[in-house]
């Protein structure tokens, strides 16, 4: 049986149970999109693009709509997979992301409009949904879409009786319960929670707390990426009047 946590309490990639993977963010690399971001957590790499808010189909008085197109690159997983034209799993993740952000975006400011998000996973090494949500948060902020808060997402799981944070693909193969949670960090409000399997009620509270802590730990990292991008854009405001 493979060992997931060593006797010293270190995981296979050298992290402690409550540590996140290394994070890398790049905001606004596509000038032709309204907003774009690249986000990497460990070896999970995601690109998110935002177009809009633009003319939607609704009638006057309708609040803005968020739609999300989720795609995995053919080369993103260990097994090369031909992309399907209608992938149920991807469509479900897409609508999950869209409804997550509808609770953070101030949609009433964008009547009759549509905000189009598209997510492309370049490399999937566990926690794809969580990393995608973090990437979309950055892309939406790059697009200047009004939001009440960042949306930070993180996974948590139980391996060999220990709660572990932000699991990778190898640790997911331990078949433990995998919980993905998206929070609004300033109020610790949960806006999305997804559990891959059934879990004993006694375990759930600990898992949820750990995932929330993971999400709030991500906040300063995401904030720095947005702040740096904004700072780099300051010359666009022109000389002081």
Partner 1 sequence: MDTTADDAGATAPDATTTTTTTTTTTTIVERPGMRIVCPGDVITEDQGYMRGHGTFIHDGRLLASVAGVVERVNKVISVRPVRTRYVGEIGDVVVGRIMQVGQRRWLVDTQSRLSSVLKLSSVNLPGGVLRRKSASDELTMRQVLAEGDLISAEVQAIFQEDGTLSLHTRSLRYGRLGPGMFMRVPSVLVRRSKNHFHTLPCGVAVVLGNNGYIWIGASMEEDTTQAREHDQHIITEETRRRMARVRNAISALAHRMLSIFDTTIIFTYDDSAHLEEKEMLHPEAIATITQRAYLLCTDQL
Please identify, using beta-carbon distances, which residue of 173 and 186 lies nearer to partner 1. 186
Segment interacting with partner 1 (CB under 8 A) among 90-98, 165-173, 210-218, 229-237: 229-237
Measured on CA atoms in the order 173, 71, 135, 93, is the torsion positive or negative? negative
State whether residue 142 is helix, strand or coil: helix
With contact defined as beta carbons under 8 Å apart, do 163 and 123 qualify?
no
Contact status: 212 vs partner 1 (CB under 8 A): no
With contact defined as beta carbons under 8 Å apart, do 145 and 136 qualify?
no
How many residues belong to the chain?
241
Map the footprint of partner 1 across residues 183-202, applying CB under 8 A: 184-186
Please identify, using beta-carbon distances, which residue of 93 and 218 lies nearer to partner 1. 218
Q: Distance between CA 15 and CA 79 in Å, rounded? A: 26
Q: Closest approach of Cβ 168 to partner 1, in Å?
A: 27
- Please state at what angle helix 128-142 crosses helix 88-102, rounded to 10 degrees: 50
Q: Closest approach of Cβ 18 to partner 1, in Å?
A: 24
Map the footprint of partner 1 across residues 113-132, applying CB under 8 A: 113
Residue 120's φ and ψ, nearest 5 degrees, are -125, 120
- Per the DSSP assignment, residues forming a β-bridge with 155 are 180
Segment interacting with partner 1 (CB under 8 A) among 48-56, 71-79, 89-97, 203-211: 48-56
- Phi-psi map region of 32: left, alpha, beta (phi>0 left; psi -120 to 50 alpha): alpha
Contact status: 84 vs partner 1 (CB under 8 A): no
Contact status: 205 vs partner 1 (CB under 8 A): no
What six digits make up the tokens of 229?
């991008």
- Per the DSSP assignment, residues forming a β-bridge with 120 are 47, 71
Contact status: 55 vs partner 1 (CB under 8 A): yes
- Distance between start and end Cα atoms, the chain: 69
With contact defined as beta carbons under 8 Å apart, do 77 and 150 qualify?
no
Segment interacting with partner 1 (CB under 8 A) among 11-19, 67-75, 144-152, 189-197: 144-152
Segment interacting with partner 1 (CB under 8 A) among 71-79, 91-99, 106-114, 198-206: 106-114
- Which of residues 2, 14, 61, 201 is near partner 1 by CB under 8 A? 61
- Which of residues 2, 14, 31, 161 is near partner 1 by CB under 8 A? 31
Contact status: 228 vs partner 1 (CB under 8 A): yes
Kindly list the residues in this chain that would bind partner 1 in the complex (CB under 8 A): 28, 31, 34-35, 52-55, 60-61, 106, 110-113, 141-150, 184-186, 223, 226-240
């Amino acid at each position: 049986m493979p060992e997931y946590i060593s006797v010293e309490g270190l995981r296979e990639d050298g992290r402690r149970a409550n540590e996140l993977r290394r994070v890398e963010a790049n905001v606004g690399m596509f000038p032709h999109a309204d907003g774009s971001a690249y986000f990497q957590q460990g070896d999970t790499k995601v690109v998110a693009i935002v177009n809009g808010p633009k003319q939607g189909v609704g009638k006057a008085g309708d609040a803005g709509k968020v739609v999300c197109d989720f795609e995995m690159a053919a080369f993103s997983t260990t097994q090369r997979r031909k992309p399907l034209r209608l992938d149920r799993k991807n469509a479900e993740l897409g609508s999950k992301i869209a409804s997550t952000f509808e609770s953070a975006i101030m949609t009433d400011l964008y009547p009759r409009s549509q905000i189009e998000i598209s997510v492309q996973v370049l490399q999937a090494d566990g926690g794809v949904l969580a990393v995608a949500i973090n990437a979309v948060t950055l892309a939406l902020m790059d697009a200047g879409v009004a939001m009440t808060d960042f949306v930070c997402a993180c996974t948590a799981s139980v391996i060999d009786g220990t709660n572990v944070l932000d699991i990778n693909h190898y640790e997911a193969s331990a078949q433990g319960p995998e919980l993905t949670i998206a929070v609004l960090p300033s109020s610790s409000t949960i806006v999305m929670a997804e559990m891959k399997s059934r879990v004993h009620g006694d375990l759930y509270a600990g898992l949820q707390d750990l995932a929330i802590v993971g999400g709030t730990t991500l906040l300063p990292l995401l904030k720095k990426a947005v702040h740096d991008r904004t700072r780099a854009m300051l010359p666009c405001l022109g000389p002081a009047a």
